[in-house]
């Protein structure tokens, strides 16, 4: 994929897409690897860690899997469809063995973790299965697989954050980069497989985060997105820190609000975004920090999942409808211009028409600018799979999803219409998809805006003031303010 990953990669539409890395100087490496990524931004960020580990071990990247010695697929388990997409793609990638009988195929990420060695029985031509906390062992696993043995490492870790590894940016636009700030998840949303595939939550050393952001800035990047499944529960305690990472005794603990500020101070020209916020953990402290720094984008992805308190309870989201609505009101009170988006699941176990209407009405209350919407897909091993019956017929799940999508389109359009005539500071990301006579960029609120280049000497990575003159459901259209 990616022109840009839109900060949360779990949309159904994006799951089929993947990217291959740029080609390094081929003479610098004696072997070639090819990697494709599926799922959320964290998986894409992990692939950049993997690329770095492989580069260190003599593998250069290629965009053609046919010429690779090592073909990797970084996988997602979030919904059944995500896993189907990966399996289908694997049958394609397996053809590499026709061109190069010694080539190895490795499965990384959440599906590797969920299925473990079972994967090797199901997909005979796979040589390696490597879970998200085991990427440092890739060189050893490759050596093992080269001798003809199947290689597996799916151990989850309590402290691995890959803090010291400098990611190799894959297919980036050179303007915005992802920075992983934590791994795993300690929440137990009953529908969700992530706690099983990613393990316990752990926070990365803030000094290494700030350094990575500063390096990106010095390399011309103008936007970082801090990534975690639940960024608001970021918490780093100095005791856990080793002297080599630059921290020392007497340092205070670092909360997410503290971290946001540290990153905002890297440079006023560096925009800061983050994803994802769990409504139960986002604090006033975070909201005030956002309000205080112009370069922290006024945009929050705040997944609601359902608007019904009863369903939220079954989902184990730990907030009620009213509590969520009050949180939205609080955000708008502190930052009236804040953009808001959500994730929504339709047809969760026992969901009634009334529950569904509650979801529709909470969407209207929240006035989301955008949402990622899914119908419920039961995942083996989750709390919901063990406790509740997946009792909503597929046609009902899909009809409700359809209604939610239609409502979101109307809300997005309304939100864009409200921007007509306003002027926004836009960070240019590159040419618009349609024409190289137009730029594409984003507002602080994360809305995509397209506008003619005209006679101005601008480039990607530059900021420009743009007045909104028109819009569609998904995009603002503007004109540079001279
Ligand atoms: N950590 C993030 C979400 C990670 S998964 C958070 O808590 O918000 C991304 C989204 O996928 C979730 O927000 C949810 O809407 C959706 N999702 C997760 N499991 C699902 C399932 N079993 N069926 C359908 N959608 C699911
Ligand atoms: Fe899954 Fe919930 Fe954790 Fe998000 S917060 S990753 S939905 S368990
Ligand atoms: Fe998918 Fe794993 Fe992310 S299940 S959504 S790739 S954490």
Structural domains for the chain? 11-153 (3.40.50.12160), 176-414 (3.80.30.20), 423-480 (2.40.50.140)
Ligand 1 centre to CA of 85 (Å) is 17
Residue 328 scores a pLDDT above 50: yes
Q: Is 42 in the pocket of ligand 3 (CB under 6 A)?
A: yes
Q: Is 10 in the pocket of ligand 3 (CB under 6 A)?
A: yes
By most ligand atoms within 8 Å of CB, the mutation choice from 1, 36, 38, 43 for ligand 3 is: 43
What is the average per-residue pLDDT within 234-256? 73
Closest ligand, as measured to the CA of 374: 1
Q: Is 202 in the pocket of ligand 1 (CB under 6 A)?
A: no
Residue 121: how many other CB atoms lie within 10 Å: 10
Q: Is 39 in the pocket of ligand 3 (CB under 6 A)?
A: yes
By most ligand atoms within 8 Å of CB, the mutation choice from 107, 110, 187, 198 for ligand 3 is: 110
Query: Per residue in 3-14, pLDDT tens?
Result: 223 222 333 333
The band of 27, judged by pLDDT with boundaries at 50, 70 and 90, is: low
Share of the chain above pLDDT 90, in %: 89
Query: Per residue in 249-276, pLDDT tens?
Result: 568 999 999 999 999 999 999 999 999 9
CA atoms within 13 A on the CB side of 230: 20
Closest ligand, as measured to the CA of 343: 1
pLDDT number for residue 337: 97
By most ligand atoms within 8 Å of CB, the mutation choice from 11, 197, 276, 301 for ligand 3 is: 197
Query: Per residue in 337-396, pLDDT tens?
Result: 999 999 999 999 999 999 999 999 999 999 999 999 999 999 999 999 999 999 999 999
pLDDT number for residue 29: 84
Query: Per residue in 294-326, pLDDT tens?
Result: 999 999 999 999 999 999 999 999 999 999 999
Query: Per residue in 62-115, pLDDT tens?
Result: 999 999 999 999 999 999 999 999 999 999 999 999 989 999 999 999 999 999
CB 453 within 8 A of CB 438: yes
CA distance 275 to 300: 8
Nearest CA, atom 7, ligand 3:
194
Ligand 1 centre to CA of 13 (Å) is 14
Contacts of 120-123 with CB under 8 Å at 24 or more apart are: 120/150, 120/152, 123/87, 123/90
By most ligand atoms within 8 Å of CB, the mutation choice from 13, 15, 36, 39 for ligand 3 is: 39
Q: Is 167 in the pocket of ligand 3 (CB under 6 A)?
A: no
What is the average per-residue pLDDT within 273-280? 96
* Among 122-126, 149-153, 453-457, the least confident range: 122-126
What is the average per-residue pLDDT within 237-253? 64
Q: Is 194 in the pocket of ligand 2 (CB under 6 A)?
A: yes
What is the average per-residue pLDDT within 287-291? 98
pLDDT number for residue 248: 52
- pTM comes to 0.93
Residue 19 scores a pLDDT above 50: no
Nearest CA, atom 3, ligand 3:
40
What is the average per-residue pLDDT within 466-470? 98
Q: Is 189 in the pocket of ligand 2 (CB under 6 A)?
A: yes
Q: Is 77 in the pocket of ligand 3 (CB under 6 A)?
A: yes
Q: Is 45 in the pocket of ligand 3 (CB under 6 A)?
A: no
Q: Is 185 in the pocket of ligand 2 (CB under 6 A)?
A: yes
Ligand 3 atom closest to residue 193's alpha carbon, by position in its atom list: 4
pLDDT number for residue 239: 72
Ligand 3 centre to CA of 191 (Å) is 13
The band of 164, judged by pLDDT with boundaries at 50, 70 and 90, is: very high
pLDDT number for residue 251: 81
């Amino acid at each position: 994929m990616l022109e840009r990953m839109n900060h949360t990669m779990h949309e159904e539409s994006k799951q089929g897409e993947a990217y291959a890395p740029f080609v390094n100087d081929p003479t610098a490496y004696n072997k070639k690897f090819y990697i494709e990524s599926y799922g959320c931004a964290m998986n894409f960020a992990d692939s950049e860690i993997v690329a770095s580990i492989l580069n260190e071990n003599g593998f250069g990247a290629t965009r053609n899997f046919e010429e690779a010695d090592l073909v990797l697929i970084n996988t997602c388990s979030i919904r059944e469809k995500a896993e189907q997409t990966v399996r289908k793609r694997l049958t394609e990638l397996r053809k590499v063995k026709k061109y190069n009988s010694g080539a190895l195929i490795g499965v990384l990420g959440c599906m590797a973790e969920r299925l473990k060695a079972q994967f090797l029985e199901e997909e005979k031509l796979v040589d390696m299965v490597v879970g998200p906390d085991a990427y440092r062992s890739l060189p050893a696993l490759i050596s093992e697989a080269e001798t003809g043995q199947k290689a597996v490492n799916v151990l989850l870790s309590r402290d691995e954050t890959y803090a010291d590894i400098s990611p190799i940016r894959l297919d980036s636009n050179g303007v915005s980069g992802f920075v992983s700030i934590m791994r795993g998840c300690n929440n137990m949303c009953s529908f969700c497989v992530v706690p099983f595939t990613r393990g316990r939550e752990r926070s990365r050393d803030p000094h290494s985060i700030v350094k990575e952001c500063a390096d990106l800035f010095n390399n011309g990047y103008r936007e970082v997105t801090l990534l975690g499944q639940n960024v608001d529960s970021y918490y780093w305690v100095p005791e856990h820190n080793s002297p080599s990472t630059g921290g020392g005794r007497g340092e205070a603990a670092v909360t997410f609000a503290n971290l946001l500020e540290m990153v905002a101070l890297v440079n006023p020209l560096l925009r800061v975004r983050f994803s994802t916020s769990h409504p139960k953990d986002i604090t006033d402290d975070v909201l005030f920090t956002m309000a205080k720094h112009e370069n922290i984008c006024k945009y929050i992805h705040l997944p609601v999942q359902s608007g019904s308190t009863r369903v939220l309870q079954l989902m184990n989201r730990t907030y009620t409808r009213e509590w969520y609505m009050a949180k939205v009101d609080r955000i708008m009170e502190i930052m009236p211009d804040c953009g808001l988006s959500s994730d929504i699941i339709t047809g969760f176990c026992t969901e009634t028409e009334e529950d569904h209407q509650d979801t529709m009405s909470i969407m209207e209350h929240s006035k989301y600018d955008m949402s990622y919407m899914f119908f419920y897909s039961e995942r083996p091993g989750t709390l919901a799979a063990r406790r509740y019956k997946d009792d909503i017929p597929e046609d009902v799940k899909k009809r409700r999803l359809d209604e939610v999508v239609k409502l979101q389109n109307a809300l997005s359009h309304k939100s864009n219409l409200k921007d007509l005539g306003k002027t926004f500071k836009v960070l240019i990301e590159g040419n618009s998809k349609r024409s190289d006579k137009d730029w594409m960029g984003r507002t602080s609120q994360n809305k995509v805006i397209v506008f003619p280049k005209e006679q101005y000497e601008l480039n990607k990575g530059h900021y420009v003031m743009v007045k909104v003159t028109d819009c569609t459901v998904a995009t603002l259209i503007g004109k540079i303010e001279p």
